[in-house]
Structure 1
């Protein structure tokens, strides 16, 4: 029983995600089990997920997934390289996933593999520095240094990072890529009935529910319930940023000390009256908006460079009957501790136990991102979603 792995945020799960799972099964067989590694409550764009991770896992099961594992926050809210390594490492450790499927704009695994090889070439760092010295933004410099046009689009970029992660981990998964259909990543238009998750979140957060409902599977909005927003904790984030000195900024993931960035962050935090103003004060061609958002949110959450290299456990967020069969196999072959209920975290030791305790804190802060705040503690009390209504 070959299982395929899909990395996702499902923020929220929409018609394009359902189409990707269906197309993957068209390539690999309708009975192919689908294992998803899904971001938890905080996502790569440095935002709170639109709905809690258990609800989103349930929607993924309803949309065709069989087993949903969590990508812990230190990897979920990281650069594409770290994000990809964390997710792929969970597939490698599972012992049951043999194929990796992802969407891309180009639809060519060979083209993406060529770009991955260019980024890992010994000459690439020097080429990147030369491109940056010309005044190019980091994404443009990266594309020029690699000499690969496919790096100009976001899903291609992430696909390349998955391939680099496979090489880094020496993980022999087969790769299939499904051409992205419909609206572009982050786009504001609906194309062929498909919209980006970014656009759907915009619609939900501006209460345009009828428009959003047509772009997601039936029943999605009812299951999501109240929508989260970072606006509810903006002043709390600004308060944290105002307390940061250069050492604290330098200790954040992906911060570094080059070109006086920590000093620039300190000055901006003391001046800014909103997060958007903070980003505008810090922004340069070398620092992408996404990176600055991650730094601000990392400071709020308390993320630091003191993290394991790879996720130290596999936490189950949801499963159906086919996922249950996969999980039974995983218990014999997985190289990581498997958490099927939160009480099992008490048996973790060392970095794994510390990570789970930090994840509980990240969830407690996430619980403030709603019109009515929620109490602490759900990380220790919420069990995986079980959906036995789906066919085996």
Structure 2
């Protein structure tokens, strides 16, 4: 039986994700297993996930995923390179996944492989350094360097899914992973785009926006009616915990800000000043953002600050495999992983006490992040939150 790995946020799981899983089973057989390395309660764009990780796990299992493993927060809320390395490292450590599948605008591996080759060349490094020295932001300098070497072929790096796909390929190489890459053509609306008449799918950001705004218009066919009802029950967003977020940020010193990853080049000074002055998150982002510091980087740093994370909180490698949920086929995989996995498998939270010290620290960090997520639920105080130490995996 083939076992296909997918790295995802499923924030929320929608028709485009369903299409990806269907395409995987068309390519590898209806009996193949699907393992997802999924972000937990906090996601890469510097936000709370719309629904908690166990709710999103249940929705993914209903739609064809067999086993959901958590991509720990220090990797899930990082930039593309550590995000990709965390996901690839997790799937590789299972010992049962043989293929990494991801969506891309290119829909084929050759242009992505060519871009990955370029980004590991000494010539690219030299042109990149020149761009950064001129004051360009890293994304702009990266694209400029690739264009100088690849010409028009570098345009593939402008697609967000292509870009992440290249990072997956680079992570496979860096980790010497045996996983074979496989890409599926991405269909539908692009990132942050609403549905178009000819589009079979809407972007996840569009669906989140509609739900958080309380828009009563049905979101079918992008979400099934049961999925939509669950997601509307008690959505989460960083803005729902605004005063708590600002309270945390305003107690931080400039030295505290400097301990965050990617906060060099004087950025910690801007973040400190912005946190003292801002009365909303959009205002804070706007005060800190410059041409050199893109919005995505600012948002992630603000989230790291709120969660109390530092660069030291992301270990060099994953210390365990956390099971969030599984189907019957997923349970078979878990039995295989007992002998095949290269990391401890954490099924019940009580088993965290048996882990090595570094792994126990990471689990405690996740518990803290889950407690803070509870503060960002729209109905905080009206419905009970979920506790990291008592919530068992979802069985489907």
TM-score range, shorter chain: over 0.9
Preserved contact between residue 59 and residue 220 of structure 1 (Cα < 8 Å): yes
Which of residues 239, 242, 249 in structure 2 aligns to 1:231? 239
Aligned to 2:27: 27
Shift of 1:341: 0.9
CA contact (8 A) 1:94 1:330 kept: yes
In structure 1, the residue matched to 2:143 is 143
- Deviations, residues 178-237 of structure 1 (Å, cap 9, x unaligned): 010010122123442310000000110111243324311341023332111222211221
Q: CA deviation at 1:136?
A: 4.2
Q: Secondary structure at the match of 2:98?
A: strand
Quote how far apart the aligned CAs of 1:134 are. Answer: 4.6
- For 2:216 and 2:338, the matched residues in 1 are separated by 42
The match for 2:344 is 337
Q: Is the 8 A contact 1:132 1:286 kept in 2?
A: no
Q: Deviations over 1:325-376 (max 9, x none)?
A: 1111011110111011111111112110000001000000001112322567
The count of aligned residue pairs is 385
Contiguous gaps of at least 5 residues in structure 1: 388-392
2: distance between equivalents of 1:55 and 1:94?
23
Deviations 1:17-72 (A, max 9, x none): 00000001111111110000000000000100010111101110111100000001
Distance 1:376 1:386, change over 3 A: closer
Alpha-carbon displacement from aligned partner over 1:245-264 (angstroms, at most 9, x marks no partner): 22111111222x22x21112
Task: Summarize the alignment of residues 254-293 of structure 1 with structure 2, pairs less than 5 Å apart.
Answer: 254-255=262-263, 257-258=264-265, 260-293=266-299
Partner residue of 1:322 out of 317, 326, 329: 329
Q: Given that residues 5 and 91 in structure 2 are in contact (C-alpha distance below 8 angstroms), is that contact kept between their aligned partners in structure 1?
A: yes
Distance in 2 (CA, whole Å) between partners of 1:210 and 1:15 is 17
Verify: 1:295 aligned to 2:304, yes or no.
no
Q: Provide the residue aligned with 2:63 in structure 1.
A: 63
Q: Matched residue of 1:318: which SS?
A: strand
Residue in structure 1 matched with residue 316 of structure 2 by the alignment: 309
Cα offsets for 1:252-291 (capped at 9, x unmatched): 1222x22x21112222222222211111111112211011
Kindly state the Cα deviation for residue 123 of structure 1 after the two structures are TM-superposed: 2.8
Q: Tell me the equivalent position of 1:371.
A: 378
Structure-2 separation of matches of 1:122 and 1:211: 51
Matched residues in 1 for 2:271 and 2:239: separation?
21
1:386 maps to 395
What do you get for the CA RMSD once the two structures are aligned? 1.5
**Secondary structure of 1:185's match?**
coil
Work out the CA distance in 2 between the residues paired with 1:266 and 1:72: 27
Give 1:114 deviation, angstroms: 1.2
Is the 1:57–1:318 Cα contact (8 Å) retained in structure 2?
yes
Question: Is the contact made by 2:349 and 2:388 (CA closer than 8 Å) also made in structure 1?
Answer: yes
1:246 counterpart (254, 262, 269): 254
On the 8 A contact 1:360/1:377 being kept in 2, the answer is no
Give the direction of change, closer, same or farther, for the CA distance of 1:338–1:286 in structure 2 (3 Å limit). Answer: same
Q: CA deviation at 1:129?
A: 2.6
Correspondence for 1:129 = 129
Residue equivalent to 2:168? 162
| TM-score normalized with structure 1 length | 0.95
> Structure 2, unaligned stretches of length 5 or more?
148-153
Task: Report SS of the residue matched to 2:193.
Answer: coil
CA contact (8 A) 1:265 1:282 kept: yes
CA distance in 2, matches of 1:362, 1:263: 25
Matching residue of 1:390: none
Q: For the structure 1 residues 115 and 220, does the alpha-carbon distance in structure 2 shift closer, same or farther, using more than 3 Å as the test?
A: same
* Residue in structure 1 matched with residue 6 of structure 2 by the alignment: 6
Distance 1:209 1:138, change over 3 A: farther
2:360 corresponding residue in structure 1: 353
